[in-house]
Chain A
């Protein structure tokens, strides 16, 4: 039986100063931004029926580069959000930010408006790597941004990549150590992957060998764990896990507003779940916004796609309440995963093994 899960809100801001060659998110360098904030709020109005009396568990403003938003625009957005929504007492509100001088000066204003968590897109503390990745900030700016963030926010994340062109394990660990020394509450440590339809797909950088990248990843995990950043999700390490991300991984609900934003909603009266998607091109979104919805036809698979990313896995009862399905219906697949050494069970708790984490694609594909 489906139950209503916590409800988060994702807001997409689709512009960047410069598009990075590895990025396959919905981001654009140019275009008229006027009217976007107003449109976001109208977009939200049309999704209000999905709330079904819930308050908001967390908000994540991602992009693009949402830190490009002016103080005025952000204020306007939040005034609107507060009018339309009930925020949880302990709501987590994250803003993705670029670590540039321009943004650093706005950190205080972000806090004042209501942002209580920053996610800083550092990617590397090595200027050469930053150049290859097409980032517009320098290592010095990244360090400064983190120091400033730690003064203003109790809770901030550093995004860091590994497996970069010409990178050695030593260099990778040095990047990580610098991140750790800046004392964030959360580090996202993830491998650079070449996605289709990106500049890197067309002109691939010379990446280290697979085996070397894996060694790098393993060395990174060890270093992070040594410094108290426990790996609670495949690529997330923290002293304080992100509520917003956990809600994703536990197959919770989220409204998605903004150009190309995805949402996932449980319709409790109909006992079904849907996905929502908004017009992708910013111009279309502002001028002629459309929403498409589609039913989630394989909830068990989608649940696994998310929940198996969590180190602690999930409780059988969570599977039942979030998918409406029964554990016996996936019994064979669970056993298959256990036989392959990818999954373990303790009481009613199911969780991926170390091997399951390493071969997560294989583990998830079992439920396809």
Chain B
């Protein structure tokens, strides 16, 4: 056990986490050069395309250190985006140490700071690494100072590395061996293991990534899932190299996979504890704090026939995305679907994309909203996660919205632009601190302003030099109203929004205009109206198409005509008919595309 090192990597997006991980694998010979595709750990298509990591993954590598001994390095990959900080804390709770990777030209970013604090709180040893050291813009001295100032850890002997060019990889591995403590635990004790992640494989059933704290798990070992008391006989254990490799056992201190013929997709929930069937431990591992979704949206299948398939897909997805919460929802306009809770907007986009790609569904997502608190005139408090669940206006005594505290790090030249953005989003400044070229801004912001397009805007006003982390702070009374959208005089529930009264006229107008661009011309005029109560505040018209006819005679060749009509029909498949009006997917999210 003394030669095991379990660690995660903390890094901001683009600071090179996945590339460093790839270099480790290459250095330790986990994959042949032929098998090495760029960023092997990001296995989902979406991860590769977007260049981000969403799900944690692990890899076990054998490293022969300079002292001549062979070490088992278990690296647990973590996502870098704020939406997935929950996944980060999950990965960290299986480790004794973490590498903090900072881009030597960009410096420390807010998200990195937050994750680093999580690691320190959990008692992990944090080892700093400066990456991209060979870039002309690299300023290692300044960045080291920043790490010490902002995060407060020693960084003078941080390894200077370039994952891209392969510089300093061995030095990092040496530091892992030297600085990160070996795990502790009792092999002879009853089994105690943490489920870091679980996913469903159509052939194997549930596959779980686990960290064993005590005991030893082998094939045929009888185990018990702590939360539900279900007992299973283990089929197979092993490690990822990153290929899945079967091993004889997983012992205390080790990280690897477990397959136990669990067919029920809720059978091995993430964060749960695994113990021995007989002689069980009486107390579960701390796991990690359950995560609260902050953003809610309705998702509906475009074709009502897909509802069952959609429900199954959600159940499977939830197994390895514990942050995903959902309950059935029905809409007059969109039929049956689910109200789904997300960690943030990126999480929402990724869930929709995974559902569409991995489960071949065509879906419509409605505008994201947060949970509001409404105090009614009888003194009861309601939590409202959808505009359609709002009580009547007369019944509302107090309307409260969630406020977050945002911690924004930005280079000094863009401070002004970021402050203007925060003011536009109804923010209240709490503090401003200068730390070298970095400025730390702390703002209180209404969450509903943040979930829509705040991250994109922040990135664009700062040319990518601002980053942000946030925490929920409190509910606060606010002058909120419901904005309804009517299409050809019919209110469409799925398009309603809760917004601040001061923004309502401008937003109503922009929204109607944006929808006008997104709704294609049809056989009749389409009137889009934004209203508050019975008052219409803006209107836009999609003029009727006058004709849709291809009159040419094809001399008896119907195949071309058929192709044309097929194409037209496919286009319609991406739309949902509301009343007689065909509304494309994007129009339901039009609110995301207005400032």
| Known interface pairs A305-B558, A358-B546, A360-B548; A365-B553 also in contact (CB < 8 Å) | no
Q: How far is the CA of A275 from the CA of B562 in the complex (A)?
A: 14
Prevailing SS type, chain B contact patch: loop
Which of A167-175, A256-264, A315-323 binds B? A256-264
Residues of B within 8 A of A358 (CB): 546-549
* B543 to A: closest C-beta gap in Å: 9
Contact at A211–B557, with CB atoms within 8 Å?
A: no
| Known interface pairs A217-B547, A234-B551, A361-B549; A355-B523 also in contact (CB < 8 Å) | yes
Which of B239-247, B309-317, B420-428, B565-573 binds A? B565-573
Name the contact of B555 in the complex, choosing from A234, A262, A359, A360 (C-beta under 8 A): A262
| Known interface pairs A305-B558, A305-B562, A361-B568; A211-B546 also in contact (CB < 8 Å) | yes
Q: How far is the CA of A217 from the CA of B523 in the complex (A)?
A: 17
Residues of B within 8 A of A301 (CB): 562
Residue interface mask B521-556, A partner, CB < 8 A = 1? 001000000000000000000000111111111011
Candidate in B523, B549, B558 with the most chain A CB atoms within 10 angstroms: B549
* Docked complex: A337-357 residues within 8 A CB-CB of B: 340, 355, 357
Contact at B557–A262, with CB atoms within 8 Å?
A: yes
Name the contact of A340 in the complex, choosing from B523, B548, B561, B569 (C-beta under 8 A): B523
Q: How far is the CA of A362 from the CA of B568 in the complex (A)?
A: 9
Q: How far is the CA of A362 from the CA of B81 in the complex (A)?
A: 45
* B547 to A: closest C-beta gap in Å: 5
Q: How far is the CA of A324 from the CA of B552 in the complex (A)?
A: 27
Contact at B553–A235, with CB atoms within 8 Å?
A: yes
Residues of B within 8 A of A365 (CB): 565, 568-569
- Counted as pairs of residues, one from A and one from B, with CB atoms less than 8 Å apart, the total is 75
Q: How far is the CA of A232 from the CA of B568 in the complex (A)?
A: 26
Q: How far is the CA of A363 from the CA of B155 in the complex (A)?
A: 71
Check: A214 CB closer than 8 A to any chain B CB. yes
| Known interface pairs A361-B564, A365-B569, A368-B566; A193-B552 also in contact (CB < 8 Å) | yes
Contact at B556–A214, with CB atoms within 8 Å?
A: no
Residue interface mask A197-220, B partner, CB < 8 A = 1? 000000000000011001001000
Residues of A within 8 A of B548 (CB): 358-362
Q: How far is the CA of A180 from the CA of B523 in the complex (A)?
A: 32
Q: How far is the CA of A358 from the CA of B551 in the complex (A)?
A: 10
* A196 to B: closest C-beta gap in Å: 9
Check: A240 CB closer than 8 A to any chain B CB. no
**Closest chain A residue to B545, Cβ basis:** A359
Residues of B within 8 A of A245 (CB): 553
Residue interface mask A237-263, B partner, CB < 8 A = 1? 000000001001000001010000011
* A215 to B: closest C-beta gap in Å: 8
Name the contact of B547 in the complex, choosing from A12, A214, A364 (C-beta under 8 A): A214
Q: How far is the CA of A361 from the CA of B562 in the complex (A)?
A: 10
Contact at B556–A364, with CB atoms within 8 Å?
A: no
Contact at B550–A193, with CB atoms within 8 Å?
A: yes
Residues of A within 8 A of B549 (CB): 234, 357-361
Q: How far is the CA of A211 from the CA of B545 in the complex (A)?
A: 9
Residues of A within 8 A of B568 (CB): 361-362, 365
Check: A62 CB closer than 8 A to any chain B CB. yes
| Known interface pairs A361-B564, A365-B569; A248-B547 also in contact (CB < 8 Å) | no
* B574 to A: closest C-beta gap in Å: 15
Contact at B569–A248, with CB atoms within 8 Å?
A: no
| Known interface pairs A214-B546, A359-B548, A362-B523; A25-B555 also in contact (CB < 8 Å) | yes
Contact at B556–A10, with CB atoms within 8 Å?
A: yes
Check: A302 CB closer than 8 A to any chain B CB. yes
Contact at A256–B546, with CB atoms within 8 Å?
A: no
* Docked complex: A95-119 residues within 8 A CB-CB of B: none
* Docked complex: A285-301 residues within 8 A CB-CB of B: 301
Q: How far is the CA of A360 from the CA of B550 in the complex (A)?
A: 8
**Closest chain A residue to B564, Cβ basis:** A361
Candidate in B556, B564, B565, B580 with the most chain A CB atoms within 10 angstroms: B556
Contact at A235–B556, with CB atoms within 8 Å?
A: no
* A313 to B: closest C-beta gap in Å: 16
Contact at B523–A359, with CB atoms within 8 Å?
A: yes
Q: How far is the CA of A362 from the CA of B523 in the complex (A)?
A: 9
Q: How far is the CA of A358 from the CA of B553 in the complex (A)?
A: 16
Residue interface mask B147-177, A partner, CB < 8 A = 1? 0000000000000000000000000000000
* B189 to A: closest C-beta gap in Å: 67
Residues of B within 8 A of A153 (CB): none
Check: A190 CB closer than 8 A to any chain B CB. yes
Name the contact of A368 in the complex, choosing from B545, B552, B556, B569 (C-beta under 8 A): B569
Residues of B within 8 A of A165 (CB): none
Check: A191 CB closer than 8 A to any chain B CB. yes
* Docked complex: A146-175 residues within 8 A CB-CB of B: none
* B509 to A: closest C-beta gap in Å: 25
Q: How far is the CA of A286 from the CA of B336 in the complex (A)?
A: 60
Residues of B within 8 A of A191 (CB): 551-552
| Known interface pairs A10-B556, A359-B523; A305-B561 also in contact (CB < 8 Å) | yes
Residues of B within 8 A of A188 (CB): 553
Q: How far is the CA of A302 from the CA of B558 in the complex (A)?
A: 8
Residues of A within 8 A of B550 (CB): 193, 360-361
* A211 to B: closest C-beta gap in Å: 7
Contact at B558–A364, with CB atoms within 8 Å?
A: no
Q: How far is the CA of A235 from the CA of B547 in the complex (A)?
A: 14
Name the contact of B565 in the complex, choosing from A235, A263, A361 (C-beta under 8 A): A361
Name the contact of A190 in the complex, choosing from B523, B552, B556, B562 (C-beta under 8 A): B552
Q: How far is the CA of A347 from the CA of B523 in the complex (A)?
A: 27
Residues of B within 8 A of A364 (CB): 561, 565
Residue interface mask A173-190, B partner, CB < 8 A = 1? 000000000000000101
**Closest chain B residue to A24, Cβ basis:** B560
Q: How far is the CA of A191 from the CA of B557 in the complex (A)?
A: 18
**Closest chain B residue to A254, Cβ basis:** B556
Q: How far is the CA of A156 from the CA of B569 in the complex (A)?
A: 38
* B374 to A: closest C-beta gap in Å: 41
Residues of B within 8 A of A362 (CB): 523, 548, 568
Q: How far is the CA of A358 from the CA of B549 in the complex (A)?
A: 6
Q: How far is the CA of A317 from the CA of B562 in the complex (A)?
A: 24
Q: How far is the CA of A306 from the CA of B555 in the complex (A)?
A: 11
Q: How far is the CA of A358 from the CA of B557 in the complex (A)?
A: 22
Name the contact of B556 in the complex, choosing from A234, A264, A360 (C-beta under 8 A): A264
* A95 to B: closest C-beta gap in Å: 14
Residues of A within 8 A of B566 (CB): 368
* A11 to B: closest C-beta gap in Å: 11
**Closest chain B residue to A306, Cβ basis:** B558
User: Assuming A235-B552, A359-B549, what are 13 further A-B pairs, CB within 8 angstroms?
Assistant: A12-B555, A188-B553, A190-B551, A191-B551, A211-B546, A214-B547, A248-B553, A262-B555, A305-B561, A358-B546, A360-B550, A360-B551, A365-B565
The 6 closest A-B pairs by CB, nearest first: A235-B551, A360-B549, A214-B546, A262-B556, A358-B547, A361-B548
* Residues in chain B within 8 A of chain A (CB atoms): 523, 545-553, 555-558, 561-562, 564-566, 568-569, 580
Could you write out 29 A-B pairs with CB less than 8 Å apart?
A: A12-B555, A190-B552, A191-B551, A193-B550, A210-B546, A214-B547, A235-B553, A248-B556, A254-B556, A262-B555, A262-B556, A275-B558, A305-B558, A305-B561, A358-B546, A358-B547, A358-B548, A358-B549, A359-B545, A359-B548, A359-B549, A361-B550, A361-B564, A361-B565, A364-B561, A365-B568, A365-B569, A368-B565, A368-B569
